Amino acid sequence: MENEEKNMQPTVDTFGCVECGADLKFKPGTTALTCEYCGAKNEIPVSDIEIQELDFHEYFKKGAKEQETIEVNLVKCDTCGAESSLESNITSSSCPYCATPLIVSNAHAENIIQPKSLLPFKLTKKEAIEAFKTWINKLWFAPNALKKAVLSFDHFKGVYLPFWTFDSKTTTQYTGQKGVHYYVSENYTTTEDGKSVTKTRQVQKTRWHYAAGQVTHAFDDVLVPASESLPKKQVKELEPWDLPNLVPFDKKYLSGFITEKYQVNLESGFNRARVDMEDSITGLIRRDIGGDVQRIHTRSTQFEDVTFKHILLPAYVSAYKFKEKLYRFMVNARTGEVQGERPWSVIKITLAVLGVIAIAAAAYFLFGK
């Protein structure tokens, strides 16, 4: 399967003006492009092709050779290892993830399996930059110099990030125990005003009952990042994505943007999706067992009718330097959600801790008196 699931990303293309034939690049949030040469208004064609879910097991039976492929020009970053698309007319570029200059001469053409759908860019670069600035200004304990700094956005780039989505019907058999709380009265001895006194208190105990059963659930569009170039936690927190607005893949939407080559193959992607599904199934089992607390002893899950999609989701990605250290951030190009790495002000944190200690000491002194 390793050879079947090479990193798949599409090539870059442009819209052609219907009047003069000039190349027009896709602009985020638009449904029509005005030609800067002849002024003609070009409607972006909307495909009526249905976005299909592919059968997971059938894919491996038939092999990747039957899948639709396209040729893409890729260049690999020697620092972080990310591979991304490169337009043929580019003579110099930098990695969107670590700002390292790319060796363009090392670019190579590769036939890859194309995604079936994508979310087009909705936010413009200017809107994404404003969202990032707002995020910076709201950071707690950020150095003042950071907020006042004139941040360079030379490496601020629109990137299509690769993802898998998985659907599956699941049936889980389980055994466990249901715990039901009850309370008993307990006598205890304590000292009050120098005298020993006996009091009564309620103590919680748990009565356990055997439990076994079956839970079913149909999972839809379990999202798995297919990139290893960005922190998983930050990519996860870019959610939610408006997946109902996915459009059939058209390489024209990629014009002017970078597309990352996926690094997580289909099989590994499904294994990660299974972990997410199992976490949700745990909650279903606990609710099915009922009671106040639950113990799960055994479980066995069948995954049926597994289907998948390979999709591209848009983000603005950049790296910025502060005091010679590199920080990365991402902006969801559909919603404006910002996630990223940030510096901390040691001075501000120290002063805050000292302030809390001072307040606690003053309160202790006053109430102690």
How many residues are given for the chain?
A: 369
Give CA–CA dist 42/151, Å, rounded: 36
The C-alpha atoms of residue 303 and residue 271 are separated, in whole angstroms, by 12
Residues 240-254: pLDDT tens digits?
A: 999 999 998 887 888
pTM of the model: 0.75
Phi first, then psi: give them for residue 99, nearest 5 degrees: 65, 10
Q: Give the pLDDT of the chain (369 residues) as one tens digit per residue.
A: 333 333 333 334 566 777 777 777 777 777 677 777 787 777 776 666 667 777 787 777 766 556 676 677 778 877 777 777 766 555 557 777 776 777 766 777 777 667 889 999 999 888 888 888 787 777 665 555 555 544 556 667 888 999 999 999 999 999 999 999 999 998 988 888 888 888 899 999 999 999 999 999 999 999 999 988 788 888 888 999 999 999 988 878 887 788 887 788 888 999 999 999 999 999 999 999 999 999 999 999 999 999 998 899 999 987 766 666 777 788 999 999 988 765 554 555 565 555 556 666 666 667 665
Nearest to 229 by CA among 202, 261, 200: 261
Cα separation values, 210 from 60, 64, 293, Å: 41, 48, 12
Instruction: Tell me the β-bridge partners of 293.
Output: 179
Q: How far is CA 156 from CA 78, 110, 153, in A?
A: 19, 26, 5
In degrees and rounded to multiples of 5, residue 258 shows phi and psi of: -95, 145
Tens-digit pLDDT profile for residues 348-361: 556 555 555 666 66
Rg (CA), the chain: 28
Q: Which of 271, 284, 164 is nearest to 217 (CA)?
A: 284
